[in-house]
Amino acid sequence: MDFIVVFLIICGLIFFTGGAVGILRFPDFYSRLHPAGKLDTGGGLLILVALALFNLHHFSLSTLLTGFKIILIVVFVFLSSPTAIHGIVDAGVRAGLGPWTKKKGDSL
Amino acid sequence: MDTFFLVCGLYLSFLMVLSLYRGIFGPTVLDRLIGVNAIGSKTAVLLILIGFIYHRVDMFVDIALAYAMLNFIAVLAASRYFQKRKGLFGE
């Protein structure tokens, strides 16, 4: 049981690391939204599922309720985080921000 | 297991500092919004980790749920507000 929890948490931390590095290093506003939208949602999902599993060590009604609330946070993040990112994309498109194109002699 | 949670929380805080760079020095307003959204989604996880460290998950889970909702509403409202050309090009 602890092995699964530790494995899921480390996977989630790897996802979060990829998201942070992507937000720092991508060249353009639209390409920065890609790690922000996908990897933060995935990492948060993995870590929260792992913590809900760890919470059910001592099985009783109150820990069951707490685990249900953590799963509720998972569902809410899964719905709301892509929606927020889509709102930011929509703001950029409406403001007329052009996409990034590779210039000559431009090194990533 | 408490030490493992503590190390995970410290590492998440380090990642939040990395995202804060984009929040401060972002070239446009929307880049700053991306950094703030990334910090907020990490904070909801960090709050539950803090609850496990203090053995009071039943209290911290409500705070985390409220923070996730607040982060969603804040980012959505700010992205509706900043859809003008002003502030997007050439800080």
Whole-number pLDDT of residue B22: 87
In angstroms, how far is the first alpha carbon of chain A from the final one?
A: 43
Q: Tell me what ipTM this predicted complex has.
A: 0.84
Is B16 part of a structural domain of the chain?
Answer: yes
- In chain A, the residue whose alpha carbon lies closest to the alpha carbon of B36 is A36
pTM: 0.85
pLDDT tens column, B20-76: 998 888 778 888 888 889 998 899 999 999 998 998 888 899 999 999 999 999 988
Answer whether B45 sits within 8 Å of A44, measured CB to CB.
yes
Domain count, chain B: 1
Is B57 part of a structural domain of the chain?
Answer: yes
Among A23, A43, A69, whose Cβ lies nearest the Cβ of B65? A69
Is B17 part of a structural domain of the chain?
Answer: yes
Whole-number pLDDT of residue B11: 93
Is B29 part of a structural domain of the chain?
Answer: yes
What is the biggest distance separating any 2 CA atoms in chain A, rounded to whole angstroms? 64
Neighboring chain A residues of B63 at a CB cutoff of 8 Å:
none
Answer whether A20 sits within 8 Å of B18, measured CB to CB.
yes
pLDDT tens column, A18-69: 999 999 888 888 888 888 888 989 998 999 999 888 888 878 888 889 889 9
> Does B84 reach chain A within 8 Å, measured CB to CB?
yes
Is B49 part of a structural domain of the chain?
Answer: yes
Is B87 part of a structural domain of the chain?
Answer: no
| Domain that residue B41 falls in | 2-81
